[in-house]
Structure 1
Amino acid sequence: MAKIICNSIEFVFLSEIRLMVPDNVILKTGHDWKKLNVKEKPVYRSEINQADAGPVKEISVTAVTDFNTDAILKQFSGFPIILRMKTNMTTFYVGSQEYPVITEISDDAIFDTYAFKCKSPA
């Protein structure tokens, strides 16, 4: 069954998480999920590659937003995060406390392009 991903990505910095279990993330008091207002549906890819140490699961998410010099992820792009995404049926998380998401951002003064990447043992 194909997953239809909604036009929303939410994120939280790893330092804001109190507890993370497979289907839920509990945030520290006073912290909330931050929304990334995307222009079109995010592109989600997941694959398993063979490495010397064993299989590695690689997930990437690409999202495009309006250009914003003050975007919080631009200011703190080096900080590890966890993504929360929704499909037509469920909510799922990308990244974990042990294997968080890393963010790369490029812009062209019209749009910001976010490339989120996460690697973990398969």
Structure 2
Amino acid sequence: MINPKKLIRMARKWQKTAAAHHRVADKGHFVVYSSDRRRFVIPLAYLNSEIFRELFQMSEEEFGIQSAGPIILPCDSVFMDYVISFIQRGIAKDLERALIMSIASSNCSSSSYFPQEQNNEQLLLCAF
């Protein structure tokens, strides 16, 4: 039978390992959180995107520069999924600028980008 003290040490070691693994992103990625606390692991290549630069600037203005703790972007998880899919598709620069302008002029929540009553033309722009 295993000594109870040794079992406790092993459990603590596994907890620390699991916690450390959860907080660390894979090589070539960084971690951000949405305003509703959903975790996103983003490739470093996305830092070249003007959209992420604008989101980081908005985060700095809203939350300040944090030396400890996670990076929290001022948008919800639905909008973050939308931005990530937008970047993955390799959007055109003019569409990227239009999205940035809409980010800057709104509160960056999914309800401001996907209202319940939209006509087909607006849906086509969002789906592009």
What TM-score does the superposition give when structure 2 sets the normalisation length? 0.24
The structure showing larger relative contact order (alpha-carbon pairs under 8 Å, at least 6 residues apart) is 1
What TM-score does the superposition give when structure 1 sets the normalisation length? 0.24
Which structure has the greater CA radius of gyration? 2
Higher strand share: 1
